[in-house]
Amino acid sequence: MSERTRFGRFGGQYVPETLMAALDELQTAWLQLRADNGFLSELRARQATFVGRPTPLYHAERLTEHFGGATIHFKREDLCHTGAHKLNNALGQAVLARRMGKRRIIAETGAGQHGVATATVCARFGLPCTVYMGAEDMRRQEVNVRRMRMLGAEVRPVTSGTATLKDATSEAIRDWVTNVRDTHYIIGSVVGPAPYPEMVRELQRVIGDEAREQYLAAENTLPDTVVACVGGGSNSIGMFAGFVDDPSVDLVGVEAGGLGVETGQHAAATVGGQAGVLHGSFSYILQDRQGQVLPTHSIAAGLDYPGVGPEHAMLAELGRASYVAVNDDEAVAAFKLCTRLEGIMPALETSHAIHHVGELAREMGPGARILLCFSGRGDKDMHTIESVSPTDMPVIGGPL
Amino acid sequence: MTLLLNQGELALIPYLMAGHPDMATTREIGRKLVNSGIAALELGIPYSDPLADGPVIQRAGQRALAAGATTEACLEAAADIAGEQAAPVLLMTYVNPVLAYGPERFARDAAQAGVTGVIIPDVPVEESAEIAKTMTGAGLETVFLVAPTSPDDRIAAACDASTGFVYCVTVTGITGSRSVLPTDVNALLAKVRTHTDLPVAAGFGISSAEQVSLLRGHADAAIVGSAIVNELDAGRDPGPLVRELLSACK
């Protein structure tokens, strides 16, 4: 095994031979471009005018008051164009793909946020775009399917396996194996074979780098704890990247506990999985004793994935970051609470982290400081929220 | 190598997915096939997320898993087929079932079953050091893949790491039938030969007697998978198709 493709013992390149030359080509292009001033200034300019960066740091006063403990801030990635942090990565990889001369883009998507982000940059650059999406996810994230199609992308339903993000990712990799010469695969998270986990982290670290600077400027100190939700783990790793070298800052990843980790109906790969290989890298995955990848469950399509990025596996094993699971019902309650108290509707993925922030805030008490990566907005989840609790939205002034 | 080859002649390596449609059928068909004049039998151990496989073999794997196929049961079927003492049996699977079973235990049990070699398509040379040592240490041959996208240095590395034969992927893509094979297949086969004296087998996309016959004089063996799995899907004995493919080798 080669160290350049690893995070400790995790990571690597477990893919068919057909892709290996393309991964080498990508690695070479990426190493050149990340040190290239032309690329970096193009990226910064597009981040400013197209994505809307820097995104603000927000003091969540009413949630702070509600929990009665630690002071809570949000890093507002929901205010990125297209509504989530996903565009940071999609934009960076599209600029990279153009410079590599790739003429076609493919992507996988779970909640549809990465698919929308990829379709968006492809519209902007005039690149043909195919997005693989589980048929089950297309049903629960129907608005995002319409957005992708409006942007000109072809959305291909995936019906194999569990018809969710895992299977969409496998299909996207198979497309790439078949069309690798002219196609770039914009993977949506810090998963997959090297160099993807590191490249996607570097494209997402703008979250943590901005947040650290903004937090210091606003509060004259660093937060005690940084919290983010973890599916594959791209918003969290981007956020953690800004603070991982600050030993005083605790890093907490919040995975999808589904119906409860003890029920087996969940998507918490770090909390409830074992080491194994999925989609080209060695990391924590949810698998049975035969090494077959297990079906997952989460109310949040963007967390409904049986693996986690290899860098998270390393951070967990080193103890540098800790990982917890939050269940569906807790996320739904946090969604409503945040919407009503802050006037900000979080994505269901983000809502998992908000629930845990509430528990931590109470536990840590007044004077402590928590920073949450508010990874995306919740408009896409209206349908899901209404279907699990159609009538219990209280009016303002009523009990929460 | 243990491939049954007649000097100068093209040979056939059919593929079966163990447990598809059920393990008893795999054993029965496998025992017949190894006695039918083939060079070797490639026996697949199913995996939930096979990145190198097209829809036919994916579906066969899912059916096998749904019917309860385990790695243990696949190795028992392999032992049964290898017990015929006829054509050699090779295992093809993905890395995660091997890691879950334990590489040492897998290598030992496969060797004890009489298996001669393993093909793990998601372990490229870069990731192969430990696992290949474990396999060869147990007396198993390791087969690596070269693809139309492999540059010369990768072809050389795959040839060096292979101990049984070299698996030449004929199409840029996944397994499954193609109406035509790319015209540069023979050029790729010729290039691979400049790097190795091992036999070279061609696979992926080969489904018809006509395609097999085009490999005569270029490859040592043709590997046919999805077309055979298709026969089993349709409830047919793949024997007649295999006989047709065998006569196209001559």
Amino acid at A83: G
Q: What is the pLDDT of residues B44-54, one digit of tens each?
A: 999 999 999 99
Give the position of tokens 């973890």: A230
Give the dihedral sign, CA A369/A372/A377/A380.
negative
Residue from A4, A9, A18, A293 to probe the interface with B (highest B Cβ count within 10 Å):
A18
Report angle CA A79, A84, A85 to the nearest 5 degrees: 100
Say what the pLDDT of residue A102 is.
96
Q: What CA–CA distance (Å, rounded) separates A383 from A141?
A: 8
Higher pLDDT, A389 or A342: A342
pLDDT at B2: 73
Question: How much is the mean pLDDT over chain B?
Answer: 96
Q: What is the 3-state secondary structure (H, E, C) of chain A?
A: CCHHHEECCEECCCCCHHHHHHHHHHHHHHHHHCCCHHHHHHHHHHHHHHHCCCCCEEECHHHHHHHCCCEEEEEEHHHCHHHECHHHHHHHHHHHHHHHCCCEEEEEECCCHHHHHHHHHHHHHCCCEEEEEEHHHHHHCHHHHHHHHHCCCEEEEECCCCCCHHHHHHHHHHHHHHHCCCEEECCCCCCCCCCHHHHHHHHHHHHHHHHHHHHHHHHCCCCCEEEEECCCCHHHHHHHHCCCCCCCCEEEEEEEEECCHHHCCCCCHHHHCEEEEECCEEEEECECCCCCECCCCCCCHHHCCCECCHHHHHHHHHCCEEEEEEEHHHHHHHHHHHHHHHCCCECHHHHHHHHHHHHHHHHHCCCCEEEEEECEECHHHHHHHHHHCCCCCCCCCCCC
Task: Answer yes or no: are the C-beta atoms of A131 and A153 closer than 8 Å.
Answer: yes
Tell me what ipTM this predicted complex has.
0.97
Q: Which residues of A touch B154 (CB under 8 A)?
A: 17, 20-21
For residue A23, the Cα-to-chain-centroid distance in whole angstroms is 22
CA distance A384 to B45: 39
Chain A contact set for B122 (CB, 8 A): 14-16, 277, 280
Query: Are residues A284 and A11 in contact, defined by beta-carbon separation less than 8 angstroms?
Result: no
Cα of A296 to nearest chain B Cα, Å? 13
| Structural domain total, chain B | 1
Subunit contact B100:A16, Cβ cutoff 8 A: no
Size of interface A-B (CB pairs under 8 A): 128
Place of tokens 């919407």: A339
**Nearest one of A377, A1, A373, A15 to A191, comparing CA atoms:** A15
Q: How far is CA A26 from CA A172, A313, B20, in A?
A: 17, 23, 38
Known catalytic residue at A86: yes
pLDDT (mean) for B224-243: 97
Q: What whole-number distance in Å separates Cα of residue A370 and Cα of residue A227?
A: 7
Q: Is the dihedral of CA A18, A21, A24, A29 positive or negative?
A: negative
List the beta bridge partners of residue B235.
none
Residues of B catalogued as catalytic: 42, 53
Nearest-angstrom CA–CA distance, A255 and A38: 37
Best residue in B48, B98, B106, B122 to probe A by mutation, most A CBs within 10 Å?
A: B48
DSSP helix/strand/coil, B168:
strand
Q: Give residue B64's identity as a one-letter amino acid code.
A: A
Q: How many CB atoms lie within 10 A of CB A48?
A: 11
pLDDT of residue A3: 67
Percent of chain A predicted with pLDDT > 90: 90
CATH number at B144 reads 3.20.20.70
Q: Do B54 and A18 touch (CB under 8 A)?
A: no
Interface of B with A in 2-61 (CB under 8 A): 47-49, 51-52, 54-55, 58-59
* A398: pLDDT strictly greater than 60: no
pLDDT at residue A159, as a whole number: 92
The structure tokens 């059928």 sit at B25
Q: What are the chain B neighbours of A17 within 8 Å (beta carbons)?
A: 121, 124, 144-147, 149-150, 154, 158, 169
Q: For residue B103, is it within any domain?
A: yes
CB contact (8 A) between residue A17 and residue B150: yes
- Mean pLDDT, rounded, for A7-11: 98
The answer to whether residue B111 scores a pLDDT higher than 70 is yes
Q: Is B182 on the interface with A (CB under 8 A)?
A: no
User: Does the pLDDT at position A24 exceed 80?
Assistant: yes
Contact A16 B148 (CB under 8 A): no
Q: What is the pLDDT of residue B44?
A: 98
**Angle at CA of residue B223, ends B217 and B227, nearest 5°:** 120
Q: Is the dihedral of CA A148, A149, A152, A158 positive or negative?
A: positive
Q: Which of A21, A170, A276 sits opposite B96 (nearest CB)?
A: A276
Using the 8-state DSSP alphabet, how is residue B72 labeled?
A: H
- Give the pLDDT score at B177: 78
A276 touches chain B (CB under 8 A): yes
| Mean pLDDT score, A180-198 | 97
In which domain, by residue range, is B203 found?
11-249
Amino acid at A269: A
Q: Which of residues 15-74 of A touch B (CB under 8 A)?
A: 15-22
Question: Which residues, 6+ apart, have CB-to-CB distance to B175 below 8 Å?
Answer: B52, B53, B54, B56, B57, B203, B204, B205, B225, B226
B-chain CB neighbours of A160 within 8 Å are: 55, 58-59, 62
Q: Using pLDDT thresholds of 50, 70 and 90, give the confidence band for residue A392.
A: low
Q: What average pLDDT score do residues A358-384 get?
A: 96
Say whether residue A100 is in contact with chain B using an 8 A CB cutoff: no
- Strand, coil or helix: B54: coil
User: Could you tell me if residue B80 is inside a domain?
Assistant: yes
Backbone angles phi, psi at A250, to 5 degrees: -75, 140
- A212 pLDDT band, cuts 50/70/90, is very high
Q: Measured between beta carbons, which residues in chain A are less than 8 angstroms from residue B75?
A: none
Per annotation, catalytic residue among A75, A77, A102, A108: A108
8 Å CB contact of A14 and B98 = no
Please report the pLDDT score of residue A383 as a whole number: 85
**Cα A361 to Cα A345: distance, rounded to the nearest angstrom:** 20
Specify the range with the lowest mean pLDDT, choosing from A142-146, A391-395, B44-48, B212-216. Answer: A391-395
Interface membership of A293 toward B (CB under 8 Å): yes
| DSSP single-letter state for residue B218 | T
Query: Which residue of the set A210, A349, A375, A380 is catalytic?
Result: A375
**Is residue B173 less than 8 Å (CB to CB) from chain A?**
yes
Fold of A53-83+205-388: Rossmann fold (3.40.50)
**CATH, domain range A13-47+86-196:** 3.40.50.1100
- Cα radius of gyration (chain A): 20
Among chain A residues, the shortest Cα distance to B167 is held by: A17
Task: Note whether A17 contacts B121, CB cutoff 8 Å.
Answer: yes
A19 neighbourhood in chain B, CB within 8 Å: 149
| Helix, strand, or coil (residue B30) | helix
Residue A235 scores a pLDDT above 90: yes
| A396: confidence class by pLDDT, cuts 50, 70, 90 | low
Residue range B144-165: mean pLDDT, rounded:
97
- Domain assignment present for residue B130? The answer is yes
Is residue B18 a contact partner of residue B74, using CB atoms and an 8 Å limit? Answer: yes
- Looking at chain B from residue 67 to 96, which residues have their Cβ under 8 Å from any Cβ of chain A? 70-71, 94-96
Provide the residue count of chain A: 400
Distance from CA of A167 to the nearest CA of B (A): 8
H/E run at residue B104: helix B103-112
Query: Phi and psi for A152 in degrees, rounded to 5?
Result: 100, 5
What pLDDT is attached to residue A170? Answer: 94
Out of A75, A86, A102, A380, the active site residue is A86
Picking from A19, A20, A26 by the largest number of B CB atoms within 10 A of its own CB, the best residue to mutate is A20
Q: In one letter, which amino acid is B30?
A: G
Q: Which residue has the tokens 């519209």?
A: A123
Q: Which of A16, A289, A292 sits opposite B47 (nearest CB)?
A: A292
- What's the pLDDT band for B179 if we cut at 50, 70, 90? confident
Task: Report, as an integer, the average pLDDT of B156-171.
Answer: 96
Averaged confidence pLDDT in chain A = 95
When pLDDT is cut at 50, 70 and 90, the band that residue A162 belongs to is: confident
Contacts of A344 (CB under 8 A, 6+ apart): A58, A74, A78, A338, A374, A377
B95 vs A contacts (CB less than 8 Å): 14, 277
